[in-house]
Amino acid sequence: MLPWKRALRPLAALLLAVAAVTVPTAAHAADTATAPSRGWNDFSCKPSAAHPRPVVLVHGTFGNSIDNWLGLAPYLKNRGYCVFSLDYGQLPGVPFFHGLGPIEKSAEQLDAFIDKVLAATGADEADVVGHSQGGMMPRYYLKFLGGADEVNALVGIAPNNHGTTLLGLAKLLPYFPGAEDLLSTATPALAQQVVGSDLLTKLNAGGDTVPGVRYTVLVTQYDEVLTPYRNQFLNGPNVRNVLLQDLCPLDLSEHVAIGLLDRIAFHEVVNALDPARAKPTTCASVLD
């Protein structure tokens, strides 16, 4: 890469981030002005004809129902969606940081939460948007807990669908006696997300997808947590795999930023939730 191009990368990232936070359009400003003050997780919210399905946001490992969604939840709420988020995978004595318990149990928590959302809103189906583990764990619910009957679409933002090598560090675990057992005991969800885990082998056996659900996967090539980044893509029908840099080469988001503040990703989430009204996503989408 030419030196001047390398030097422009940090500047491009800064400009995209600033635009995402400080330059709303007039339409977006109007949406913000009229948004309900209670924000998301409003169980009195009734889906509109334009957006008939509630959106359930599923945080990632070490995340929670608030911090993970300070960017995307208002973005969706301001566009007329009923938005909900849950905490899952809690461990005793570990406040605020969730998504650490066994993924099978977390999927059961998601199942119960979506049942609650559907009962409150009167909707027949929900759409699910998840970041990292939150983009993969719902697939367990869809495949093994009957979730395909309750979910229309799953949007994974940097989802850990086929495991991570953690830049190769996972391959070193066998060389440290007891490390793998300690990881499995102390933080089961972390051990289950390593390439080749029993959980991922079971989840992906017989195909990545289930009939009746639309899948969208949003990935950044600069992901330093889920490596290699192409492990995040899904195979199967009704799948759309998106590399954000194909839409906006200036997008330098890594694993955390893609879920927290990346409006290129947010724009694609809305396209996935409402494909009939989808608009092309470009670098200018940060202004939408």
pLDDT score at 167? 54
Lowest mean pLDDT among 33-37, 39-43, 265-269, 280-284: 33-37
Percent of all residues in the chain with a pLDDT value above 70, rounded to a whole number: 80
Give residue 174's pLDDT band: very low, low, confident or very high (50, 70, 90): low
Percent of all residues in the chain with a pLDDT value above 90, rounded to a whole number: 76
CA distance 216 to 129: 9
Q: What is the pLDDT of residues 188-219, one digit of tens each?
A: 999 999 999 999 999 999 999 999 999 999 99
pLDDT score at 169? 45
Lowest mean pLDDT among 102-106, 167-171, 281-285: 167-171
Give the mean pLDDT of 161-175: 64
Neighbours of 138 (CB within 10 A): 28
**Order of strands, edge to edge, in the sheet holding 126-131?**
83-86, 55-58, 126-131, 151-157, 214-219, 239-243
Average pLDDT over the chain, rounded to whole? 86
Residue 259 has pLDDT above 50, yes or no: yes
Q: Is the Cα torsion angle 216, 45, 41, 144 positive or negative in sign?
A: negative
Measure the N-to-C terminal CA separation of the chain; round to a whole number of Å. 31
pLDDT score at 185? 63
Give the mean pLDDT of 158-174: 72
